[in-house]
């Protein structure tokens, strides 16, 4: 659905985007991650045919960004991180205005506007002025606008930016619904834990270069070189358990997390199964309260892969 090859954008001697090569299949939800100034918005604007690259190629549904811009705009919905709204319009008028721009006519126009309002759960605000909407509602209205022409591909640049926790949850649920509808979605976000729940693939970009491209589990494995296990025993005997586990083959290190009173056990290189820890402790007369592999989220992945360099 989306394919780029050596996509590059330069401003003078500065590489805003440096030979970006990636591929999204139909139905993919691709989380595009990177610090401010990494090249995320530049990439999306090029794919949306709003910005011409310095060199390289990009296609959307087989159409080239160079000679197929009109075709791409018919099948794509692009929601920028900040977009203008017409404050003196009602919500339904705002959508009808853009539906007319998409050449949706007559009764079909009102029907389509009502459908997208229900999809983003703003039907009850159809007669409200746009200026009266909250930040979260405005974001949902912006998403409704880009859904009017039923695009196959969606580019969402920071759709949850500036939203409160409830509004973020509502936006996440909406993106999941769009995923279930079979849309191909590329979205950027700084709220990394939420991307893992939405995306099947992620790309990490830094200083214009794509430094990781793949699924979330592969990214976690790339960062976590060794398996680490959270272990807790009863009766306040974690310090004793630490002394025993430090002598067990297959364990590289044991750290006592005194604040929460549990042990963080790092297995030796090449050892992935930590079930022997339970057997060792039970045989030693300990009462096991907790044994679980340490969770690694996208924030850990991001910090482990990137270097904090920006353009």
Per-residue pLDDT tens digits for 89-135:
999 999 999 999 999 998 999 999 999 999 999 999 999 999 999 88
Q: What gap in Å lies between CA 275 and CA 265, rounded to an integer?
A: 12
Domains of the chain plus CATH, in order, are 2-222 (3.40.50.300), 226-295 (3.30.70.100)
- C-alpha 113: how far from chain center: 27
Q: Which helix (DSSP H) or strand (DSSP E) does residue 41 occupy?
A: helix 40-47
Supply the DSSP symbol for 195: H
A 10 A CB-CB count for 17 gives 27
Q: What gap in Å lies between CA 302 and CA 192, rounded to an integer?
A: 8
Region 161-173: mean pLDDT is 84
Check if the beta carbon of residue 269 is closer than 8 Å to that of residue 280.
no
Q: Average model confidence (pLDDT) for the chain? A: 89
Q: Which helix (DSSP H) or strand (DSSP E) does residue 186 occupy?
A: strand 184-188
Per-residue pLDDT tens digits for 275-294:
899 999 999 999 999 999 87
Structure tokens at 166: 């409830």
pTM across the whole model: 0.79
Supply the DSSP symbol for 201: E
Check if the beta carbon of residue 251 is closer than 8 Å to that of residue 276.
no
Per-residue pLDDT at 307: 67
Structure tokens at 278: 């339970």
Task: Please give the full DSSP string across 102-147, using - where no structure is assigned.
Answer: TT--HHHHHHHHHHHHHHTT-GGGTTSBGGGS-HHHHHHHHHHHHH
86 confidence band (pLDDT: 50, 70, 90): confident
- C-alpha 59: how far from chain center: 22
88 confidence band (pLDDT: 50, 70, 90): confident
Per-residue pLDDT tens digits for 186-244:
999 776 777 777 899 999 998 999 999 988 777 777 766 778 899 999 988 999 999 99
Strand order in 29-33's β-sheet? 76-79, 153-157, 184-188, 29-33, 201-206, 209-214
Per-residue pLDDT at 79: 93
Check if the beta carbon of residue 294 is closer than 8 Å to that of residue 232.
no
């Amino acid at each position: 659905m989306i394919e780029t090859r050596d996509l590059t954008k330069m401003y003078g001697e500065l590489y805003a985007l440096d030979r970006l090569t990636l591929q999204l299949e139909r139905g993919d939800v691709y989380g595009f991650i990177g610090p401010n100034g990494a090249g995320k918005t530049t990439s999306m604007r090029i794919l949306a045919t709003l910005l011409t690259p310095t060199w390289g190629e990009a296609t959307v549904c087989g159409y080239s960004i160079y000679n197929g811009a009109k075709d791409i705009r018919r099948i794509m919905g692009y929601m920028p991180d900040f977009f203008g709204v017409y404050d003196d319009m009602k919500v339904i008028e705002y959508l009808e205005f853009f539906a007319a721009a998409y050449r949706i006519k007559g009764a079909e126009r009102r029907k389509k506007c009502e459908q997208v309002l229900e999809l983003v759960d703003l039907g009850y605000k159809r007669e409200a002025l746009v200026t009266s909407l909250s930040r979260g509602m405005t974001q949902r209205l912006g998403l409704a606008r880009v859904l009017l022409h039923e695009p196959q591909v969606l580019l969402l640049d920071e759709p949850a930016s500036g939203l409160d926790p409830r509004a973020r949850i509502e936006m996440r649920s909406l993106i999941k619904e769009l995923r279930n509808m079979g849309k191909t979605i590329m979205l950027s976000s700084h709220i990394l834990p939420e991307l893992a729940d939405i995306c099947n693939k992620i790309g990490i970009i830094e200083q214009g270069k794509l430094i990781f491209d793949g699924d979330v589990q592969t990214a976690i494995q790339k960062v976590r070189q060794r398996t680490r296990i959270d272990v807790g025993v009863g009766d306040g005997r974690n310090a004793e358990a630490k002394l025993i586990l430090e002598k067990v083959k297959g364990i590289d290190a044991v750290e006592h997390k005194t604040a929460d009173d549990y042990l963080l056990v790092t297995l030796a290189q090449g050892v992935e199964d930590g079930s022997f820890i339970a057997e060792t402790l039970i045989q030693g007369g300990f009462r096991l309260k907790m044994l679980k592999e340490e969770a690694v989220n996208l924030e850990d992945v991001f910090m482990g892969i990137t270097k904090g360099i920006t353009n």
